[in-house]
Amino acid sequence: MRTVAFYSPKGGVGKTASAVNIAYLASLSGLSTLLWDLDSQGSASFYLSRGAPGEGKKITKLLEGRTPIADFIEEGVYPNLDFIPAHKSFRHLDIRLEEDERSQPLKDMLAPLAEETSLVILDCPPGQSRLTEQVLKVADLVYVPLVPTWLSLNSWKQFHDFVRDKKLGVKKLRPFFTLVDRRKKLHRELVEQNSSLFDKPSKTRIPYSSAVERMGEEGLPLELLSPRSEPAASYRRLWSEVRTELKL
Ligand SMILES: Nc1ncnc2c1ncn2[C@@H]1O[C@H](COP(=O)(O)OP(=O)(O)OP(=O)(O)O)[C@@H](O)[C@H]1O
Ligand SMILES: [Mg+2]
List pLDDT tens digits, range 181-221: 999 999 999 988 876 667 787 889 999 999 999 998 899 99
Provide the CATH number for the domain formed by 2-246 in this structure: 3.40.50.300
Q: Is 213 in the pocket of ligand 1 (CB under 6 A)?
A: yes
- What rounded mean pLDDT belongs to the chain? 92
pLDDT for position 222: 97
Mean pLDDT confidence for 162-184: 95
Q: What is the pTM of this model?
A: 0.96
Distance between CA atoms of residues 214 and 107, nearest Å:
33
Ligand 2 mean position, distance from CA 12 (Å): 7
The answer to whether 85 and 74 are in contact (CB under 8 A) is yes
Question: What are the residue ranges spanned by the domains of the chain?
Answer: 2-246
More confident site: 196 or 85? 85
Q: Is the minimum distance from the CB of 216 to ligand 1 under 6 angstroms?
A: yes
Query: In 3D, which of 66, 20, 27 has the Cα closest to residue 47?
Result: 20
pLDDT at residue 237 greater than cutoff 80 = yes
> Which of the ligands is closest to the CA of residue 215?
1
